[in-house]
Amino acid sequence: MVTPELQPVEQVARISGADVHYWTYRDDLADSAGADRAEAADTVLMVHGLRGTHHGLELITAGLPDHRVVIPDLPGFGDSGPMTGKRHDVAGYAHVITELIERIDGRDRPIVLLGHSFGSIVASEVAATRPELISKLVLINPIATPALRGPRVLLSGLTSAYYTLGRRLPIRAGHSLLSNRWVVLAASRAMTRTKDKQLREFIDSNHLRYFSRFHSPALVSETFVASTTHTVIDHADDIHLPTLLIAGESDEIAPLPGQRALAARMSDAELVVIPNVGHLVHYETPGPAAAAIQRFLGAA
């Protein structure tokens, strides 16, 4: 849902054999805002979660009027093609994001890196391995606890079996299974906490439109495995950048105790908890999330 004044500029970069499509919002900030404001503004690069596309983070983008924002579709999702010669896992995606940062700004001026859900794992690897490219880190619904351990192990096991079956079926049947309307709606409702019927319908319609835009069952299964075998904790001790963690109070995929433990372990992290929201902060409460980010980016 992009307002007329937020129409992005679409570009394509060839990275790791993939045509990576990315969208720049407020690319003309320097011309329209004046040199002083533009010089003070940071570029924010956002990384979406598993089976997401750039569309999911646009509502938060709308709440950051003073910042140029860049959002790619990760390789194999949305409009971006798959990589060649690299796996579609945390390391593969971190390489793509690192190169994209270098192309848009990072060599001359560090950017702000933001990741949601699986994107938080990718962003944390980039922050740990190439900190000179990043000024601040924002993680929304960060994955701080392993999915295949703890109270979610049964659900995670069933989901893993679902993706495995999708990969093993013939491609057309596998894609049909993984993009089944009722399964997508069930996943959407499981992650949603809002009681607002109109908002629920908006979230459901976005998931139905974009959640199944993946290249192949094998690719999405490979990425799912990466999302369940890695966490932000993997790099928590190596990240010394100012970091903002935004958690949903009722998030069952990234439970709050894990967020608190992650914040305590990182050297320079602040945790903001948004009440009555689950794993879809970017859809359910983009305003409060954007306000927290604005404040964080404005801090010295």
Q: Which CATH number is 88's domain given?
A: 3.40.50.1820
The pTM (predicted TM-score) of the whole model is 0.92
- The answer, yes or no, to whether residue 214 has pLDDT greater than 60, is yes
pLDDT score at 36: 47
pLDDT score at 273: 97
Lowest-pLDDT choice from 110-124, 156-170, 257-271: 156-170
**Any domain includes 156:** no
- 300 burial level (CB within 10 Å; 0-12, 13-18, 19+): exposed
The β-bridge relationship of strands 9-15 and 243-248 is unpaired
Residue with the bigger pLDDT between 38 and 10: it is: 10
Please state the separation of Cα 170 from the chain's center in Å: 29
**Enclosing domain of residue 104:** 4-150+230-298
- The answer, yes or no, to whether residue 255 has pLDDT greater than 70, is yes
**Any domain includes 190:** no
Q: Which residue has the tokens 């999911």?
A: 56
Average pLDDT over residues 294-300: 83
DSSP 8-state code for residue 57 = G
**Any domain includes 285:** yes
Total structural domains within the chain: 1
* Alpha-carbon separation of residue 148 from 139, 158, 230, 279 (angstroms): 21, 10, 10, 17
User: 39: part of which helix (H) or strand (E)?
Assistant: helix 35-40
Residue with the bigger pLDDT between 66 and 154: it is: 66
* Average pLDDT over the chain, rounded to an integer: 89
* Alpha-carbon separation of residue 64 from 45, 59, 286, 292 (angstroms): 12, 9, 10, 10
User: 273: part of which helix (H) or strand (E)?
Assistant: strand 269-274
Average pLDDT over residues 29-51: 69
**Any domain includes 43:** yes
Lowest-pLDDT choice from 11-25, 152-166, 193-207: 152-166
d(CA 114, CA 127): 10
Average pLDDT over residues 203-208: 92
**Any domain includes 294:** yes
**Any domain includes 202:** no
**Any domain includes 163:** no
The model's confidence at residue 299, banded by pLDDT at 50, 70 and 90, is low
**Any domain includes 176:** no
pLDDT score at 33: 44
- The answer, yes or no, to whether residue 233 has pLDDT greater than 90, is yes
